[in-house]
């Protein structure tokens, strides 16, 4: 399962924070780079892939962390490349709507 937290801003725009369940609550450090998955920013609800894809349709931005999360986004053509911190892949995606 993946964990999803919705952050609504400007009353109509949503940022999704999506993280692999097993990474939630961890802090990943590599040199001066940090992924703090302990913060409230990532503490959301468990969701299946279909529910997540439905949420993405209405989102302005996605912060994605973890192999399962990145795999879902790649499989559905939202991303091509990622970065890693401590071998954990992550991506930040801005969705442009017509």
CA 76 – CA 33 distance, rounded (Å): 28
Range of the domain at 34: 2-94
Domain count within the chain? 1
Task: Give the Cα separation of 69 and 11 in Å (integer).
Answer: 26
Domain CATH number, residue 46: 3.30.1860.10
Q: How would you label 31-58 residue by residue, b for 16+ Cβ within 10 Å and e otherwise?
A: eeeebebeeeebebeebeeeebeebbee
Q: pLDDT per position in the chain (98 positions), as tens?
A: 999 999 998 878 899 999 999 999 999 999 999 999 998 999 999 999 999 999 999 899 999 999 999 999 999 999 999 999 999 999 999 998 76
Stated pTM of the model? 0.93
């Amino acid at each position: 399962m993946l964990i999803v937290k919705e952050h609504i801003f400007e009353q109509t725009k949503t940022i999704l924070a999506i993280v692999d369940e097993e990474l939630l609550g961890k802090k990943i450090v590599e040199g001066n780079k940090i992924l703090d998955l302990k913060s409230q920013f990532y503490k959301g609800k468990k969701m299946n892939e279909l529910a997540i894809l439905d949420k993405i349709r209405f989102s302005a931005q996605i912060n994605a962390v973890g192999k399962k999360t990145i795999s879902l986004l790649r499989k559905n053509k939202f991303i091509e490349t990622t970065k890693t911190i401590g071998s954990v892949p992550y991506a930040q995606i801005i969705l442009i709507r017509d």
